Amino acid sequence: MKQWLGLLVFAFLYEEISSAISCHYCGPEKLCPLPYDADVTEADKRSSCEKACIKFDGSSNGKRVLVRDCAQPEHYDMMNTCKDDKEYHGAEGTLCVCNGPDCNSAPLALHQSTTIILVSLSTLGLLGDWRAMIGTCPWLVFPLVVFSILNQSTSVTAVEESDSGSKVESTSEAPKAFKCYQCGVTKTCDKPFENATLVTCQKSCMKFDGFAPDGMRVIMRDCGYFEAQGCVHDQPFERNSAVGTVCHCNDGDKCNGATSHEPPQILFCVISLGIFSRIIFS
């Protein structure tokens, strides 16, 4: 009987240990370096987080507040998502929750192939936070990129026959126009941005919320740079004059307001893998 009891206790402890994950740890007492995975030592990690990690990037009284730690049970309903305008320890900013080892670090440098993946994923118009998506189903990266490359063109080619009988091809782009908030360039951005100027944009709307090297908060709304929908966090902006969250959207007028973009969950991953496989390899 004691042997069986011992085995049960061992199994329980093994399950608890194996389910624990490590998370980056830094905060108000210990400043978080940028990027957050730079100069990290074992002392900067908690190896026994119960279920998930958090990272928070916000401000309080005009000062930037960065926190990396274990997630608490009240955060589990946000698993693998990021939400803006969240309060955390008296500060307001972006709160992210993830359930992978050391997942609350900064993303890799956004250069070359990484940038291609980001743009490709965002171009689909289906993803919110791309890092949460890849963390949930990393095996979707290849089919998503291939699918987006195959569907980059939105032009329509028509073949017409001229009076002489020869065929003439004409290409026309599908017209798109969005009403986007514009502020931060010549006037201060207010929340929820209803007082900002409205401009007509052709590709998408953009919003940026970050901090300059001197700690000043930088908020900007304007036309987007490319056709995409989604957010990228810890992103250098305007020649590294600030670092923060850049979001693009093209799902309607005034989409670059204060609303957050949430990523799809695991059900979308499973369904999408089958759909993309049929489309790509058919």
- Looking at 63, 98, 133, which one is the last position of a domain? 98
**Residues 6 or more apart in contact with residue 276 via CB below 8 angstroms:** 140, 143, 144, 146, 147
List, as one string, the DSSP characters of 90-127. Answer: TEEEEEEEE-STTTTSPPPP--HHHHHHHHHHHHTT--
Same-domain pairing of 64 and 182: no
Same-domain pairing of 28 and 136: no
Residue 83 within any structural domain of the chain: yes
Same-domain pairing of 91 and 211: no
Higher pLDDT, 45 or 87: 87
Same-domain pairing of 131 and 86: no
CA–CA distance, 276 with 147 (Å, rounded to integer): 7
pLDDT digits (tens, 9 = 90+) for 159-198: 444 444 554 454 445 556 888 888 875 566 766 555 678 8
Same-domain pairing of 77 and 126: no
Residue 7 within any structural domain of the chain: no
Range of the domain at 34: 21-98
Higher pLDDT, 203 or 111: 203
Checking if the pLDDT of 155 tops 60, the result is no
Three-state SS at 162: coil
Residue 22 pLDDT: 85
Same-domain pairing of 114 and 93: no
Same-domain pairing of 176 and 58: no
Residue 154 within any structural domain of the chain: yes
Residue 77 within any structural domain of the chain: yes
pLDDT digits (tens, 9 = 90+) for 78-134: 888 888 878 888 888 888 888 888 788 765 322 223 333 333 333 333 333 343 344
* Domain count across the chain: 2
Residue 182 within any structural domain of the chain: yes
Checking if the pLDDT of 212 tops 70, the result is yes
